[in-house]
Structure 1
Amino acid sequence: MQPKRMKYYLLGLFITGMILFIVLQFNSAKNIRKLITGNEQLLQELNVKNELQKLQTNMAKTDSKVRGTVISQDTMHITGIEADIAIIKADLKEINKIVKNDSTEKLLTQLNYLVDEKNNFNLLVLDTFYSKGKWSAERMINNQRGKRLGEAITGILHQLDTTRQTEVNRTTHLIDTSGQKAQSWGTVLVFFACLTSLLAFLYITSRIHRQEQLIEALDESQQQEKKLAAVKEQFLANMSHEIRTPMNAVLGFTHLLQAQPLNDKSKEYVSAIENAGQNLLEIINDILDISKIESGMMRIEATAFSLRSVLHSLNTMFRPKAEEKQLHLSVTIADEVPDILYGDVMRLTQVLVNLTSNAIKFTAAGEVSIRVTKIWSEDNAVRILFTVRDTGIGIEPAKLESIFDRFNQAEASTTRKFGGTGLGLTIVKQLIELQNGFISVESKPGEGAIFKVELPYTLGDFLPENGDDYYAENDQLPLHPDVRLLVAEDNKMNQNLLRHLLSSWQLQYKVVNNGKEVLQALDKQHYDLVLMDIQMPEMDGYTAVQMIRNDRHSTIPVIAMTAHAMAGEREKCLQIGMNEYISKPIVEDELYRMIQVYTGKLTPRELPATHAHHLHENGTQQLINMQYLHDLSKGDSAFEKNMLEQFITQLPEELSLLKKAVVAEDIAAIRATAHNLKTTVSFIGLEAHLYPILEQLEQLQENNYHPHLVAEIFMTLKQLCLQAIQEAINILL
């Protein structure tokens, strides 16, 4: 039987069963309702019989009281006679309410009349007894009128009882019939439920058995697929190595040839070899990438990274190509976009490089722009929009859907004119989808193209650092192996600076991010000196040094490092338990002298030479003063570049935090962020320009806070910082 037909059969059986079940349930419920109604009627009839009996009893009781009073001449017998008569009337009223119908209306009328007459007669006998005496009352009793009234009432009550008894018999029969039917339908319903359950159990058991067979077959298939995937992965790895190795050799020797003295013809040939080799290597990389994606071997590896650093590198990479074609290349990132993200930075870079390369390749004149904005955020999740826009040849609207297909370009002549495999956008699309992202394109012929990429990320707290080792980052052996320093600093630029200084002095050191980590490090290892920042997250320097002195009773030297410029700060540090105080930006010679004094293990050193200030081309002094960085680097351009790149990355992030604090009027956050900014800007000589502004924010008080003034201060600070960032970028370029 075909699976589709089997599905319809099962559906029909299910619907038939549901209809039968509803019919059975309906009939069962109907008989149960009749049973309930019959029980209610039976209770009502029993209540009627009870009320008739009560009326007859109360009437006899009243007659007995009247007769007893007359015969014994004792008025105690008639105590409460009015209440008894009232009870009789109430009983009669209740009987009228629950018995009245067409068949009993005449009997009830007679009963009401006779009961009233009987009550009046008894009252008349009592009046005669009081006014005329016993004998007159006895004559009234003996004249048989009262007896006739009583017998008439008894007869009517008997007729009513007989009528109600017939109704009771009918109701009892109805109850018995309904109960039997309800029991029968219930039995049928139980049988049907059992039969249905049995059939369902048999069907489910058969399906489970079939599913187990399919699972076993699937397991065998998966094992085979894994073996084939392993073979394919090994093949791709071999292909990658065997093809790229000779290609890299070809390109390497081509570069060596270009450095040799060649005539014009030879230079032309060598240049052609290099271009062909680069194109071939690009094609090979695309084919290997698409093979990895389609075989499921492409993995997304998430790490913390700086988004602004990625964009800065992208700008640096493609600016020469853009200038070569006389194109304007711009990279902008909105202020609200967070810098430190958690995701696959390699795949993001691959996507942006591919889209930017295409934009420059297909644009003959005009500009290429890359813009990054935030389109959604919630808790730690954020969605970033990357927009790559160009003014190139554009794409026909009918071809927009197919440009992401592999080996497909918008026009047949595109490959011949611009080169490429037609795999670039396919790889981009699949890489984006691997990251749960989305890509779209808008374009018209001759008007350029706009590629929009949405990617989800989570916020990263900080970039992972490799400076926790005890040795310099260049793996240089320490000159003083018996000197161990512990550095507590949360600002990344300050960490980089201290690593550079301590590595250049060939000292052993360990970098931690807060006071809590200081205590943990001291518990595990002996150190000769602690360089302690004051303001840190989780546990600040003050608290840490108090716990070192009071809880651990340690006398290890502690040197405070802070950007606080307020009076009395040095005295406060010394009073709490610090041994010395050094202000930021750190002076190299002063720090070396303090380490030498408190460890007693370093030799004196010569003072560094000074450098002249940089000037703009128009002769005016620029904001950035590289003298401090030159003094520290001693000609190490890689260190200077690293510090400038860190500054370009870190300063916008801290400005964003300060903006949020200003908008929220969070004075404590404003003060803390302004303090951190002082450390960040000090390394490139901005303290003369920015410290006065930052100190105004750092010294804000709640009782003297003016939002408009603070907003103006922030805007001034922001303009100066943006100018400083642009100057840093120009220095790097």
Structure 2
Amino acid sequence: MYSFQKTIFIFFLLFGLTTFAQEELTQKEIAVIQAEVEADLSFAKKNIEHYNYLQAKISLENAINKAKILNNKKSLGLIYYNLGKIHHLLEEPNLAIRTLTRAIQIQRITKDNTSVAETYKTLGDVLLKIKKPKEALEHYKSAQTFSSLENLQKLETETIIKKGEAYLALKDYKNAEITFKKAISLSKKLNLNNLLSISLIHLGDVQIKNGALKSAQKNIEEGIAIAKKNNATDNLNDGYLSLSNLQERDGNYKLANKNLKAHIKLTDSLLEAKNKLLLTEKFNESKITNQLNAQKQVNAELEQENEQDSETSTFNQLTIALITILSLLTLSLYKNNNIRLKSNLILQNKNSELIESKEKAELASRTKANFLSTVTHELRTPLYAVTGLTNMLLEEDPRPEQIPHLNSLKFSGDYLLTFINDILQINKIEAHKVEVEKEVFNLKKKIENVISALNNSANSNNVKIHFEFDKKLPHNYLSDQLKISQILINLIGNSIKFTKDGDIWVRVHKIEVTNGIYNIKIEVEDNGIGISKEKQAKMFDSFSQGSIQINRKYGGTGLGLSIVKGLIDILNGKIYFDSELGKGTTFFIEIPFEFAEETIEKEKINYFKDLNEDVLSKINILLVEDNKINQMITKKILNKLKLNCDIVENGEDAIEKVKVNTYGVVLMDIHMPGISGIEATKIIRKFNKDLPIYALTAVTIEDKMVEFDEAEFTDIISKPFKQEDFEKKLFDVIVFKENA
């Protein structure tokens, strides 16, 4: 009886302590779980070094769950890298590629450049092994760049050797030789004898292919000697094969056969060791299963022994019951702590459901922004080719019968670009990323210019535009004239589109004046098709048109009025309308304008007109662009301006070019295979702070502005660019350099 009471007392004591710990040790548990993650990672790395891959996998799988609880992305990146490495060592290439790619995605987000370098290199190894040298080469180039960025000299040397192997597999012997010679130089400098050994042997392989047999023999024999001295069995194995190939090429078949036999013997020995290792892994897996079964058997035997003594049995049964309860309670508490831990880390607020909903909305918004950024980049890149080529053809004296076709092509390109810009404008308005840029301008003249620009479209529909400006209103104001133009172009353009053989009236009136702020009403009235009552409620929604039939007949995206509404809200104005089906529509906008005394006329510059051709001929420009058509268009524009141009297709080559050449300007594309233009620019800035580098990009600039600033770009040129803007940016930097 006493034993039972004692057990109950212990139970409640443990329960109280556990509950107390749950209340007080939440932050401690965070530290404990993180320590466990690091211990699991450390244990896994040691097991990988000692070829205990199964134990390493178990540790990493445990670490994944803990890292996910903590939402520790840096640890997750390391875990997936090590798992991918194990899959590679166990010859599971598909799993390795999938896991390593996932690791890179996480590591790029956390900017863990050291891990990114290692992962790119390992992924290259996997691809090279499954005979995909071209893909492997791209990953090795990225690995080398990140290694250089973090000063990881040993890893950089290893990567350069693997690059050479990829060139060798691609039969690009020229680049292979250059690469292995660079690896030899680095290996000697860093006293990395094993890497020096394999570099010499591989250089010999290349020289065999090039017919330089004496040089090949010298390098291979030196590589073998170093391998023997350092017990580098794998290098020695490769050396014997290379020596055999050399002697066969030289006609010395007896020695070739001898070295081939040595290679085969060593290969068999290495394969045998590898197979033993794989069998050991399977044995260990089986052993763990057997241990679990044996433990079950021991538990069963203990239960049987306990039944033999009734008094002991009663106590033990109670103890077992209590232990079971405690175990379940502990498990429950652990799970509750995990849930609370997640809540503390993610929500940091008692109202978890509202915060979670907010985060989901923010995630959806970010996902939408990323999607739009990606899609618009993919659309803008070919559009750059369409608009660029069309403009060039129109400037090169086309035949008269070709001009209408080229103008149609130009119109289509401009229409698509307008559509893309409309989507981006809506996205920026919804994300509250649009800022008001005030400047002094003439409102009356601005409206007259808009009407003049739209007159051709109006004439096509046999529409006459009438303009009335209140004589009591001053002309000059301080406001965002670009947004005013967008609003007017959309409203008047809509009226023209939906009016045939009719009239449009644009009227400007004063409502009131308060402290120099004029509240002005602008009306745009037409006698076109009008809007039905049921459609009027949705007129300011995105992608909204009167009907599918209207959309097909009159065209358009349905974004215009949504953009207008967003811009007017930003300008602290309001918009409303009155319409009747078949009789026309009138839009009213009311916007506050700050009165200004006078307008400031911008000075016009004739770019490049007055520059000496000798000056221009000395300006070398580096274009970093992977798209062949874009290369051709940009180069043609530069050559037309009498500017010289070199072209490379990726960031790695751009870095090498800048190191050995002098350039006046670098035009750097952002999205490229291997490292991005942003990463390439960061590396260039380490050794050249003054070189003008322009981001040549089709991405949404606002989304990347922080990254552009961090990379220290001189300026940004959006694709597809207006040739006048492009020339101005180049002109500014060239004149600045000449006057410096």
TM-score by length of 1: 0.32
The normalised TM-score by structure 2 is 0.32
Give 1 or 2 for the bigger CA radius of gyration. 1
Higher fraction of helix = 2
